[in-house]
Amino acid sequence: MNKEQKKIVKKIDQAFSKLHILSNITWTPYRDELFKMNREDEKRHRSGDWNEHHENAASINDCAKLFTVKHIAESLLDPNKWEVKDLLNIKKSCIYSQSLVNNYGDRIRKAWIDEDINYLASLDYIALVDWEYYSKDKKEVA
């Protein structure tokens, strides 16, 4: 990973760490459950020859944390983004994140008081798995 990717991962780790507040509400450690969902999705995504095309990609855990933080932030910005019918077309973690926000949004906002929720919601997976492509794409848009 390059310096820019490491900065992104550091911000993700910081926001993810603050979600520990979701682990002591009930018997279910919600943050860890959401992380596990995203980790399993990422492991499935990386099957086959994926590594041959993404040599300097962030780890599976870093990407799972990205999606955990991103989906929560997206749900904070739009708490009604998904409906039950969407479950067939999106990752289950999106619905789970929205449910966490609908149930514990105040606690999450308080934990993330110093976080830029817009930044977290706009995190781009490609930035962590293929910086060269991500940078090229950003230059072409500009």
Over range 113-138, report the average pLDDT. Answer: 88
Q: Which amino acid is at 47?
A: S
In angstroms, rounded to a whole number, what is the distance separating the alpha carbons of residues 37 and 139?
33
Using alpha carbons only, how large is the chain's radius of gyration in Å? 15
Q: Which amino acid is at 107?
A: R
pLDDT of residue 141: 52
Over range 84-96, report the average pLDDT. Answer: 92
pLDDT tens for each residue of 1-36: 889 999 999 999 999 999 999 998 999 999 999 999
pLDDT of residue 93: 94
In angstroms, rounded to a whole number, what is the distance separating the alpha carbons of residues 83 and 93?
13
Entry pTM? 0.90
